[in-house]
Structure formats: structure tokens, C-alpha cells
Amino acid sequence: MRRSSEDTKALILAAARERFAADGYERATIRAIAADAAIDPSMVMRYFGSKEKLFAAAADVDLRLPDLAGLPRETVGTALISHFLDRWEDDEGMMILLRTGVTNEAVAERMRGIFADQLGPLVAGLHDDPAQVPLRSGLAAAQVLGMALCRYVLRLPPVAAMSREEIVHWLGPTLQRYLVG
């Protein structure tokens, strides 16, 4: 029995996401991705056109932010950090963005867009004064991304060893203050 076109495409995409997440853009070669998917490198080109387009498909990420405005005012900090921990632990896309955005201007631009379009509106729902929004969402982004960087990417031992509850306990109040304090 032969594979369908969509099946192989999905196979390649899965392998690509893994490689990009683990190695970043440059070190994740098309040959390595193809080998992981057990197919020929030329199939990658056939289905995705180029390495850049394959990456674009692999790095298509949605933060899936919940609607914090519906929550009790004093719980938005812990809600946000909980959500981000969930997201980081089950979506390779987060790792891809961070690993590659640091050395690739196009991806950095994409991250700026994601934070402006997704985190910004969410924070806007918490304030009457729109002038506060950029500052507060920027502060929140710095805290959340710093945690992800230390825990999932650099794996600083004390940070990687922290329990989920510890992180929520310490970062929750910080984010609370940044967001609405």
C-alpha cells in the first residue's frame, strides 16, 4: 500500500517541527528532516517548495490565550502563567519560535507580531486606559519568556527543577502586578 500525499506531507511537517525545535533553523538541515521522516530530501521540496516555506509552515503558532477579562480580577496573574506553562509543554512551536527568533530577524518580527496581536488585546481588556497596555504587556512578556528561556531552552538546573506549583506561586503575583497592579 502506498502513502497518500497528505500523509507524507504531515510526516515531513512533524519531523521538521521536531528538528527546528531541537536545533534551530540553520542546524536543522533538510536532509536530516527527510531522514527522520524516512523519505528523500527532494520530497520535502516537492511538498513545501523551499526550506523557508517549510519553516513557515512549522512555525505557525497560536498562543491560544484565554479570555482573562472574564476571570476574577485578582487571579489573572496565575491564570496567565499557568496557561503559558501548558502551552510550552505541549506545543513544539513555542520552542521553535524562541530558538530561531533569536538569530533570525524574520522570525523575531513574527514574534513581535504575535505579542502585539495576541497578548496586547488581552491586556487591553483589563484596562480602561489604553496608554498602559504596551508597558504592561511588555513587562509580562519579559517575565514569561524569561522563565521559558531558563526552564526549557537553557535548562538552568534550579529553574528546570522547579515544580509547576512553585513557578505559579512565584510568578503569579509578579504577573498580577505587571498586568493590573
Smallest gap, in angstroms, from Cβ of residue 111 to DNA?
Answer: 22
Q: What string marks each residue from 98 to 137 as x (binds DNA by CB under 7 A) or -?
A: ----------------------------------------
Among residues 40, 74, 89, 109, the one that binds DNA under rule CB under 7 A = 40
Q: Is the alpha carbon torsion for 85, 86, 88, 94 positive or negative?
A: negative
d(CA 81, CA 61): 18
Q: What string marks each residue from 107 to 136 as x (binds a second copy by CB under 8 A) or -?
A: -x--xx--xx-----------------xx-
Q: Which does 43 bind (CB under 5 to 8 A by kind): DNA, a second copy, none?
A: DNA
Contact call for residues 16 and 33 (beta carbons, < 8 A)? yes
Q: Is the alpha carbon torsion for 81, 83, 89, 94 positive or negative?
A: negative
Contact call for residues 55 and 16 (beta carbons, < 8 A)? yes
Q: Is the alpha carbon torsion for 175, 180, 142, 125 positive or negative?
A: positive
What are the residues binding a second copy (CB under 8 A)?
Answer: 23-24, 26-27, 98-99, 101-103, 108, 111-112, 115-116, 134-135, 137-139, 141-147, 149-151, 153-159, 161-162, 166, 170-171, 173-174, 177-178
